[in-house]
Structure 1
Amino acid sequence: MNKSRRLGRLIAATTTASVALTLAPAAIAQETVEFSVSNITDFHGYLEFDDYNGYLGAALLAGLNNQINGDENVFTTSGDNVGGSNFVSAISNDEDTLQALNAAGVDVSAVGNHEFDQGQDDLRNRIVPASDYPILGANVYRNGERILPAHDIQERNGVRIAFVGTVTPQTAKKVAPSAIEGVEFRDPVAETNQVARELIDGDQADVVIALMHDDAASLAAGFDTDYVDAVFGGDSHVVHAAQTPIIAAQSGEYGKILTDIDFTFNPTTREITAAEITQYDLAAAQATGATPDATVAAIVDQARTQADVLGAEQVATLANSFSRGNDYGLDQNGNPTTGNNRGSESTLNHLIAEAGRASMADFLGEEVDLGFMNAGGVRQDLPAGEVTYRDVFNIQPFGNGIAVGKLTGADILLALEQQWKDAAASRPRLALGFSDGFSYSYDPTAPQGERVIEATLHGEAIDPARTYSVAMSSFLFDGGDGFDAFTNVTDYRDVGYKDVTALADYLEANPAVEPRGAQGDVGVTIDGTLAAGETVTLNLTSLNYSTETEPQATAVTATLGDATGTADIDTRFIPEFDRYNEHGTATVELTIPEGLTGTQQIIITTDTGTEVTVPVTIDGTDAGTGDDDSDGSSAGSSAAGIVAILAAVAGILGGVQFFAPELFAGVTSQIEAQINALLNP
């Protein structure tokens, strides 16, 4: 039986707060019935109400659904109910979330990629039995057979409503391979269309609605509108509502939105004659007068109490402390503050970057080259002594997942340049934490976008054309904090591994871990003529961390061929410069050996283990990089050379978008004056 269900255009379309989208058919038969379908997606265990972030919480979601709907409603989800969860749920392996969704009255759900986080056996043997509603996966196969039901039929007011559930094929890249061994994720739209035809032509259903854990907006055009009436999407964490070419809606993430669609159905023609979409955010929910469901609220309270108990359990007893960046201010008790400087390196930021890299490598059973961490995601210090799960969560409270993907050396070098922001901004630099073995040199007086001189990984220069495996938070891969270079990732995999879990696992396995004494980056400006027998001056910055409790180098050595120069490090804290990661300065005189020509390396080391390299060309030209506009070879011109390489690689890759014009803006005179004042006291 083939039947046309194409309806009129929507009168209005917007997805902020509560909005109604109404289909207006040319004519509505007198004999009609109504039913409604409500939906949430990507709940991820966000059980608790949070008015600051707009999370309705499980109890209010249930109360809202009860307030706006009656017995004609079907309450659905589009997957990722659990996994990648908030602390209060993750600490109990999402058991409380499974109970809360049951109590909330969920009728049917699609399977999400995160339901596979702990493996297909965990899904089928734990999650499915614990759910009082079917979990559908029409496109999930093993050995040619579906491992989950393809559809479920709910009857409301005499209408047989078939729900067909699918999950994104990207699940194969989002979950550890061992968790889904032998599982095949087929095209979700094609599978939905096939099942819909079988149900309608076999007279098993009157209406077909797709519950798809994939982006509704981008895939809606592929559905056969003669058989599929509507789709509720998920996975991409966006909010969507539209009718063209099919009734399509998506409820965002974390229980921030409840989408409700009221359908009008003509039993005689077996057509949907009208549909009204309303999306409720927190303000809209409260405007209805809805109150939290008491049964669900009791489960959330139980989860919170249990989380407090489990959160107090010990992860490790650390032998050393780790700190965040510091502006060298004092708190009200006269103690040095930490955490107020996101522009400087810190031992804790480096630790988290290494923990993400190492834990992901262990989780996947494969090599991961690099890890990065953004300073703004680190919200508490990590003191020595007993560390609990709650402590780890408070350090990284944003619930990000650790993902892995491939980046070129050009992407990595560009990301380093993107640490420097607008000089007039309140935070003119946002420092990245690096995993062990990574370091780079840069010229703080060079134009923005041309500062990086050379980066190395385990002693080898980063190759702009080579591809590296990198682990970091999903926030950074999404370009968070302005690191657009990271969005060039390929082979991206979000495997359901939380940043909190990665850090906890690492600390548990490495309780004796020591703070990284070596700086990840060192500022180098060279003045003088690069010729045999000539003496050049190396103005060095960022030789130390910005917190007194972190390792502090006292001496620096520069080596070029057989020549060596040493100097004491000025360890005075100067807050204005610490904002730019310039704490710890020194001036080293270095005489270039006779007979030395061509491309050489200046190696800079400190007594805390710092080692960076500066490639130079010995050819008799002036090395001045500060305000000197000469074309001589120097640290600065090496930086420009790297940028030129990046540009060439970007052009080859069609990636000219890597280079935003603002990255090449000159340094302001104010910053130049400050840096010159420090380097030339």
Structure 2
Amino acid sequence: MNRTATGLSRRAFLTTSAAGLAALSPILAFRANASAAAGELLMVPATPNPNGGAERLFLLQGDPLSGPIRQIVTEEGNPVPAPVLEPGTRRVLRLMHFNDMHNHITDMHGARGDTHRMSQIVKRMAQVRADASEDEVVLLLSGGDDHTGSVFDELLGWAPDEFVADAGYRVNSAAGVDVAVLGNHEFDRGAEMLRLGIERDAAFPVLSANVHGSAHLTRDRDYTAAAVVESKGLRIGFIGLTTQVDTRVGQPDDPDMAVASPVLAVQNVMPALAQVCDVVVILSHCGYGTGQSRTGKAGAVRMIGEGDFDIAATAGALTDKPVVLIGGHSHDKLNEEGLNPDNVAEGVLMTQAEANGKYLGEIAMSIAADQGRKAWFTHVGLHAVKPRDQRVAADDPKYPTLEQDGDYDAEFEAAHVEPLRVALEGKLAETIGTVTAGAAVSTQTVMADRYSRENALLNFMNDAVVARSAEFPNGQVDLALFNATAILSGVSDGPLSFGQWYDVMPYADQVHVAEMTGAQIQQMLESNAKRLVRPEEEGDLDLSGFISRGFMHFSDALRYRIVLGDSAAEARAEDITLNGTPIEDQLDQTFRVAINTYIRLGGFSEAWNGQIIGAGVPGDIAGMDLRGLDYKDTGLVYRNEIIAQIRAAGGISPDTAALDGRLTIA
């Protein structure tokens, strides 16, 4: 199977792109001849992003997880002196930030027109920097998950010989990002591909104090636990934290990679870091809340484990220096209209700028030497990034809220985004088939049905995987499944392009084949019955968003009925047949089931890992644990297999995408 991302060669693309930013990677400051002793972090000078706001950059190298960090030292072994901001001196620190961009650099749409998200941010950043006073420091930060979510992901490839560019990191570098944190989706295509992206396209440091053990990604070479930025006499410390709950650990090619407690990492690093800095910024890609996210409707709540509330409470008690926490992962819109007191814990401000480039966050603080946290906040808020809709007339009241040509930096777009688009043009526009299935596979239908009932497009996808499995390296499967949150839109009648199908399923899942007994399949359906959005809930939930309960759809060999009962706890699966035979007659028989990576790894916050289902499901119902099944890795990409079947069938028709009663609801 050909998985090449584009017809343009990597050599040609790198030559014609606007910047040789790979050579600027600050991680090249790694010192092979110097190392930190136990309980120390080594402060190593590095090259800051020339497009950013840092005058000097230092990376803090060493093990932040072996125990408390007693001191931060220079390469000569001397303790790093305290900040040099003279008493009575005051600086304004303006932190501009985004999180969970998910490669929504430019959203391309035939009818609405293109939304130039990063180029809008660049235009605003240029104005902020131009307006800055002599005593003001302006930095641009990423709260993680710069990858996975748009067709630009395809330039990263799936193996080193397919790498064309890390679009997110390349554009971030050109935009002037000063520091970023590793989010969970950075690891979707494996740590080896992440390493290439950092090495070749990140002109800024990426941080995580709690990721460790990877066979491909090396701390202090590819990323560091923390960093220090100096500008205009102000010293700003940064610590990065990555979610334990949703990061893809346990991958077959990287079995020892792990994510430690973010609270433990903060406990170990914060006291020493605060001693050598005027202010500390926590880049937390762990989620807003504790245990589960704190905002949104009940069905959108997700399990996050140790989240921002735990981290802020821990950090605030460890220092009297100003501390802010810029969050991510849970896609929350915080402090939109100014500071919400609920977003302060132990004196630590928590904020977040939703996701997908919809907002640029801003924190401005006036910091006086030796004054700690006394009266140091001046402003916090969000700036909307305008969506494009060229169908709206100039006299329409909505017109001012929509992107127009003057709202983005056209020169930046041409210099840094257009080369990426050129590399993708052939892939995006390529027709893979024709859709004739009508409203049954439309976005409206998919969004309305995916969490609560049988869906024709998901039927098609699962059946396509079963059909394709005749060519799998380890043989035909009996059954395929897919989780509802992994499909983000439907399709409309007419020619279907690669780009349109990418919008349907943007996530980087591979195909794994598990052996399951009939009894295990029965147990899986019983768990699935408790996860659907019930009729009495539908009016109160935003069905277009994530309802992270792990509800799954199956291929046509598996048929069953969900009896709702009076509550989720009473919901059950009945009349289950597999290949036309009642499941009760096949409990000891073994079946081969195609499972996507997300579910194979336990569904993380969607609780196919034995944890409580959550996400608004009452009663503390434990989900089934699918992680311990006997898996065989195919090495195949889920999306590519379905595209291959679309090509083979000529498209998606009423014959291949229909409601056939495989799931009924009582």
Same fold (TM over 0.5): yes
TM-score (norm 1): 0.55
Q: 1:354, 1:371 within 8 Å by CA — same for their partners in 2? A: no
TM score, norm. by length of structure 2: 0.56
Residue 48 (structure 1) shift:
1.5
Partner of 1:303: 420
Tell me, yes or no, if the aligned pair for 1:89 and 1:303 is still in contact at 8 Å: no
What is the aligned-residue RMSD (CA, Å)? 5.7
Kindly provide the CA deviation profile for residues 521-558 of structure 1, in whole angstroms up to 9, marking residues without a partner as x: xxxxxxxxxxxxxxxxxxxxxxxxxx8x5289xxxxxx
1:261 pairs, out of 363, 376, 381, with 363
1:239 aligns to what SS in structure 2? coil
**Is 1:226–2:346 an aligned residue pair?**
no
Q: 1:282 aligns with which of 351, 374, 385?
A: 385
Alignment of 1:208-227 (within 5 A): 208-218=280-290, 219=310, 220-227=312-319
**AA in 2 matched with 1:503:** R
From the superposition, tell whether residues 460 and 146 of structure 1 become closer, same or farther in structure 2 (CA, over 3 Å).
Answer: farther
The partner residue of 2:149 within 82, 85, 104 is 85
Amino acid of the residue matched to residue 186 of structure 1?
A
Provide, for residues 549-583 of structure 1, a one-character-per-residue CA deviation record: whole Å limited to 9, x for no partner: 5289xxxxxxxxxxxxxxxxxxxxxxxxx9xx6x9
Which of 105, 119, 125 is equivalent to 2:176? 105
Offset of residue 73 of structure 1: 0.8
Is contact 2:435-2:492 (8 Å) kept? no
Alpha-carbon distance in 1 for matches of 2:571, 2:98: 46
Q: Residues 408 and 454 (structure 1 numbering): CA distance in 2 closer, same or farther, change over 3 Å?
A: same
Q: 1:368 to 1:158 in 2, by over 3 A?
A: farther
Q: Which residue of 2 aligns with 1:393?
A: 502
CA deviation vs aligned residue, 1:453-476 (integer Å, no higher than 9, x gap): 51223434389x99x996589999
1:75 aligns with 2:140: yes
In structure 2, C-alpha distance between the alignment counterparts of 1:167 and 1:225, rounded to whole Å: 21
Taking a change above 3 Å as real, the CA distance of residues 504 and 184 of structure 1, as seen in their structure-2 partners, is closer
What are the within-5 Å matches in structure 2 for residues 247-258 of structure 1? 247-258=349-360
The reply to whether residue 379 of structure 1 matches residue 473 of structure 2 is: no
Pick one of 183, 188, 195 that aligns with 1:117. 188
Cα distance change of structure 1 residues 134 and 476 upon mapping to structure 2, 3 Å threshold: closer
How do 1:51-70 residues align onto structure 2 when only pairs under 5 Å count? 57-69=117-129, 70=132
Q: SS of 1:132's equivalent?
A: coil
Aligned pair 1:324/2:437, yes or no? yes
Give 1:483 deviation, angstroms. 11
DSSP 3-state at the match of 1:205: coil
Native 8 Å contact 2:212 2:257 kept in 1? yes
Deviation string for 1:186-240 (max 9, x for gaps)?
1112212322222234xx3222211111114433323244337111111111223
Measured in 2, the distance between the counterparts of 1:363 and 1:134 equals 40
Aligned to 1:205: 277
Q: CA deviation at 1:278?
A: 1.6
1:38·1:76 contact (CA, 8 Å) conserved in 2? yes
Matched residues in 1 for 2:344 and 2:114: separation? 26
1:550 is aligned to 2:655: yes
Structure 2 counterpart of 1:185, which letter? V
2:334 paired residue number: 240
Alpha-carbon separation, structure 1, partners of 2:102 and 2:575: 41
TM-superposition CA deviations, 1:365-420 (whole Å, max 9, x none): 9998633669994313588xxx75235336x2x74666999974323345689589
Which residue does 1:165 correspond to in 2?
Answer: 240
Alignment match, 1:645? none
User: In 2, distance between residues paired with 1:200 and 1:432?
Assistant: 46
What's 1:35 paired with?
A: 93
| Counterpart selection for 2:527 from 385, 400, 411 | 411
2 CA distance for matches of 1:54 and 1:217? 34
Which of these residues, 566, 578, 590, is aligned with residue 457 of structure 1?
Answer: 578
Q: How does 1:530-609 map to 2 (within 5 A)?
A: 550=655
Q: Does 1:135 align with 2:240?
A: no
The CA distance in 1 between the partners of 2:618 and 2:224, in whole Å, is: 41
Q: CA contact under 8 A between 1:412 and 1:485: conserved in structure 2?
A: no
Indicate which of 263, 266, 271 corresponds to 1:192: 266
Change (3 A) 1:176 1:89: same
Match of 1:18 in 2: none
**Higher mean displacement: 362-371 or 271-280:** 362-371
Deviations 1:132-151 (A, max 9, x none): 10011111222898452111
Query: Following the alignment from structure 1 to structure 2, what is the Cα–Cα distance between the partners of residues 438 and 247?
Result: 50
Task: Provide the residue aligned with 1:370 in structure 2.
Answer: 481
Is the alpha carbon distance of 1:199 and 1:419 closer, same or farther for their aligned partners in structure 2, counting shifts above 3 Å? closer
User: Per the alignment, do residues 452 and 381 of structure 1 end up closer, same or farther by CA in structure 2, a change over 3 Å counting?
Assistant: farther
Aligned to 1:352: 461
Q: Cα 1:412–1:75, aligned 2, differ >3 Å: closer, same or farther?
A: same
Asked if the contact 1:50/1:57 (under 8 Å) is kept, the reply is no
State the match for 2:18 in structure 1.
none
Partner of 2:558: 438
Shifted more, 42-51 versus 108-117: the winner is: 42-51
1:348–1:98 Cα change, 3 Å: same
Match of 1:503 among 633, 639, 647: 639
The Cα shift of 1:154 comes to: 1.0
Give how far 1:121 is off. 2.6
Change (3 A) 1:368 1:178: farther
Match of 2:68 in 1: none
Partners of 1:487 and 1:322 in 2: how far apart? 40
> Which residue does the alignment assign to 1:589?
none
Sort the Cα spacing of 1:96 and 1:56 in 2 relative to 1 into closer, same or farther, 3 A: same
When Rg is computed on C-alpha atoms for both structures, the one with the higher figure is 1
Deviations 1:415-447 (A, max 9, x none): 689589989xxx9xxx99632421236999xxx
The correspondence of residues 450-489 of structure 1 with structure 2, limited to 5 A, is 454-458=575-579, 459-461=581-583, 489=623
Task: Provide the C-alpha distance between the structure 2 equivalents of 1:183 and 1:235, rounded to a whole number of angstroms.
Answer: 20
Letter of the aligned partner of 2:461 in structure 1? I
Q: Given that residues 191 and 214 in structure 2 are in contact (C-alpha distance below 8 angstroms), is that contact kept between their aligned partners in structure 1?
A: no
1:234 and 1:453 map into 2 onto residues whose CA distance is 40
1:251 CA displacement: 1.6
| Contact 1:237–1:252 (8 Å) recurs in 2 | yes
Q: Which deviates more, 399-408 or 299-308?
A: 399-408
Measured in 2, the distance between the counterparts of 1:382 and 1:475 equals: 36
The percentage of aligned residue pairs carrying the same residue is 19
- Closer/same/farther in 2, CA of residues 376 and 178 from structure 1, 3 Å limit: closer
Stretch of structure 1 that moved more, 130-139 or 289-298 = 289-298
- In the alignment, structure 2 segments of 5+ residues that lack a partner are 1-86, 158-164, 291-309, 336-342, 388-399, 515-519, 544-550, 608-612, 628-632
Give 5+ residue unaligned stretches, structure 1: 1-28, 328-336, 517-546, 553-577, 584-609, 613-638, 640-662, 665-681
How far off is 1:46 after superposition? 0.2
Distance 1:349 1:122, change over 3 A: closer
Q: Compared with structure 1, are the counterparts of its residues 58 and 303 closer, same or farther at alpha carbon in structure 2 (3 Å cutoff)?
A: same
